[in-house]
Amino acid sequence: MTDSSYRIQGATGEWEVVIGLEVHAQVTSKAKLFSGAATEFGAEPNTQVSLVDAALPGMLPVLNGECIRQAVRTGMALEAKINRWSRFDRKNYFYADLPQGYQISQLYHPLVGEGEIRILLDEKDENSAKTVGIERIHVEQDAGKLMHDQHPSFSYVDLNRSGVALMEIVSKPDMRSPEEAGAYVRKLRSILRYVGSCDGNMEQGSMRADVNVSVRKPGEEFGTRTETKNVNSVRFIMQAIEYEARRQVDLIEDGGTVVQETRLFDPDKGETRSLRSKEDAHDYRYFPDPDLLPLELSDDFLEECRASLPELPDAKRRRYEQELGLSAYNASVLTAEVETARWFEELLAATGKAGPEIGKAASNWVISDLFGALNRLGKSIEESPVSPAQGAELLSLVADGTLSGTLAKQVFEIMLETGDDPAKIVEERGLKQTSDTGEIEKVIAGVLEANADKVAEYRSGKDKLFGFFVGQTMKAMGGKANPGVVNDLLKKALS
Ligand code: ADP
Ligand code: MG
C-alpha cells in the first residue's frame, strides 16, 4: 500500500488531508424501494408517483426485493460483510420534497458491513495500488426534487424521484489526496456498472458524493471534518477537496477552528460554502420503522446473489494480462468500462481464436484504431458503426496476409463510412495485398533502375537507404505489396 505524498504547504509546515466519501448510488430497478411506481429518468414531473410516494395517510410501504438483491450483490462485489439481519429506521426531518416527513433509511443495522475497494493511482503501475476501506452500505429512499426557476414567485415539487432506492456507500477516512478520491469514485462507478446495480450516471444524479474533508499535521490525530453535500462529478469532488483542505489550513493557521458543518460546492467558482451546522443523529429522532419487519436474508437468496455476479474489473484485468498477454495498460483500458470489455470480448469470440497472438492484435486494434475513430466521430463504443463481427473479419484478413497494416487502415476507414464488411470492400476495390513475387520483382527492378545513383550509394555502405527502396516499391504498388515479401526480394536484388 502506497501513501500518496500529497501535502498542503502552510505557514507552519506541511499538512495532510484526510478524506472519507459517502456515495449515494441510485439502485437500478424498475420500481421504487417501497412502491410499484416507475423509476425511469426524465419523465414528465409527477407522472411516476404512487400514493405511497406521495405519503398519503394510511399508505403502507412494501419492500421491493430487487432493490435489496442489487444492494447485496454490490456488497459482495466490494468483498463486504453481508448482514443477514438488518432493519429500516425512520429519519425524521421536514423538507418540502419529503412529504412523509421522514426518510426510511438504515442507521443502526445496515444491510452491508465492512468491505474494501482497490484503487490504482497510476493505471500502468501495480505498485501504485491502495486499498480503501468501506464502512457500510445501507439502503434508503431518495427524496423528490424542488424546482425554483419555473415561476417568479412559486416553487414546484416533482415527486418522481421520491422513494427511489439509494445505496449509501460509506468509505472509511482512508483517502489522502484529491487523486485518490478521484480514483476511488471511478473504480466504485466501474464496479457498480459491472454489477449492474447502478448506471453510474453522475450528470443525471444517479451517483453523487458527500465529501468529508479534514486536515492534520502528518502523524497527528484526525482533525474536525466538514461535509460537502451532493457533489456530482469526479472533477468537482477533486476540486471541492482541494479548496476545502486549503481553506481549513488557512483557517487553522490564522488561529481559527474548523467547525463540523455541512457545506455546498459551487461549480462555477470552484468553492465550497457553509450551508448549515452539522446535525447529530439524535436530532433526527431515528426509530425503527413500525410499518416494516426486520429484513432477514435466506441462504438461497444469498447464493443466488453471488452466483449472478459477473467477472469484475480486477479479475478481468488479471485474466487479460495472463491469458491474452496484454500489457497492464491495455488491460486496464479495456476493463475500465463494462461496455468496452463486452465489445472486446465479442470481438475475440467472433475471431474464434484465443491466446496472446490474437489478444495482442485485437487489443491494439481496439485501442488505437477503433478508439481513434470513435473519438473523431464523438461516439461511444456502443454506438460504433463497425460491429465486433466486422472487426474480427478485418483482423483475420490481416492475420492471413490478405491485408497489410496500411491496407487494413484504409479498409477500416471505408468500413466506417459505408458500414460494409471488410471482405466485400477488399473484393470490390481490389485492396488485396499481393505476395506475388513475380509482380513485386518486376516493380523492384524498375525502382532500382530509376535510382541507379542511390543503388551505388547503398552498395558502398549507406545501409540507411534500404528504407527508401522499400518506400518506393510500396508506392509503385499502391501500398498493396506484402511488406515482408518486398523486404526479402529487395535484399536479394540489392546484394
Ligand atoms: P455521519 O456523516 O452520519 O456523521 P460518519 O461519522 O460515519 O457519518 O462519517 C461519515 C463519513 O465521514 C465517512 O465517509 C468517514 O470516512 C468520514 N470521516 C469521518 N471522520 C473523518 C475525518 N476526521 N476526516 C475526514 N473524513 C472523515
Ligand atoms: Mg453523512
Q: Which domains does the chain have, with CATH numbers?
A: 7-305 (no CATH), 311-429 (no CATH), 437-494 (1.10.10.410)
pLDDT tens-place string over residues 346-359: 999 999 999 999 99
Q: 113 CB under 6 A from ligand 1?
A: no
Q: 205 CB under 6 A from ligand 1?
A: no
Residues 6+ apart with CB under 8 A from 194: 77, 310, 312, 313, 338
Q: 18 CB under 6 A from ligand 1?
A: yes
The grid cell for 317 is: 484485468
| Closest residue to atom 3 of ligand 1, CA basis | 281
Q: 228 CB under 6 A from ligand 1?
A: no
Q: 173 CB under 6 A from ligand 1?
A: yes
pLDDT tens-place string over residues 295-329: 999 999 999 999 999 999 999 999 999 999 999 99
pLDDT tens-place string over residues 37-71: 999 999 999 999 999 999 999 999 999 999 999 99
Probe residue for ligand 1, chosen from 22, 224, 276 as the CB with the greatest number of ligand atoms within 8 Å:
22
pLDDT tens-place string over residues 172-186: 999 999 999 999 999
Q: 222 CB under 6 A from ligand 1?
A: yes
**pLDDT above 60 (res 339):** yes
Distance from Cα 371 to the centre of ligand 1, integer Å: 40
Q: What is the pLDDT of residue 4?
A: 56
Q: 176 CB under 6 A from ligand 1?
A: no
Distance from Cα 173 to the centre of ligand 1, integer Å: 6
Residue 17: phi, psi to the nearest 5? -105, 140
Whole-Å CA distances, 442 to 7, 407, 470? 68, 21, 14
Q: What is the Rg, in whole angstroms, of the alpha carbon atoms belonging to the chain? A: 30
Distance from Cα 164 to the centre of ligand 2, integer Å: 19
| Closest residue to atom 14 of ligand 1, CA basis | 20
How many Å apart are CA 374 and CA 384, to the nearest integer?
7
| Closest residue to atom 11 of ligand 1, CA basis | 20
HEC assignment per residue over 216-253: ECCCCCCCCCEEEEEECCHHHHHHHHHHHHHHHHHHHH
Q: What is the pTM of this model?
A: 0.89
Probe residue for ligand 1, chosen from 132, 170, 212, 224 as the CB with the greatest number of ligand atoms within 8 Å:
212
pLDDT tens-place string over residues 85-133: 999 999 999 989 999 999 999 999 999 999 999 999 988 888 899 999 9
Per DSSP, the residues of 92-133 read E---TT-TTSEEEE-SSS-SB--EEEEEESSTT-GGGEEEEE
Q: Name the region of 286 (left: φ>0; alpha: ψ -120 to 50; beta: rest).
A: beta
Q: Residues 115-132, buried b or exposed e (16+ Cβ, 10 A)?
A: bebbbbbeeeeeeeebeb
Ligand number, closest to the Cα atom of 106: 1
Helix or strand run (H / E) with residue 446 = helix 437-450
Strands 13-26 and 165-171, bridge-based pairing? antiparallel
How many Å apart are CA 233 and CA 381, to the nearest integer?
21
Q: What is the pLDDT of residue 3?
A: 53
Report the largest interatomic distance among the alpha carbons of the chain, rounded to a whole angstrom: 100
How many Å apart are CA 405 and CA 296, to the nearest integer?
59
Task: Estimate the share of the chain in helix, then strand, then coil, as percent rounded to the nearest 5.
Answer: 40, 20, 40
Q: For residue 398, give the nearest of 351, 437, 340, 345 by alpha carbon.
A: 351
Q: 107 CB under 6 A from ligand 1?
A: no
Q: 261 CB under 6 A from ligand 1?
A: no
When pLDDT is cut at 50, 70 and 90, the band that residue 1 belongs to is very low
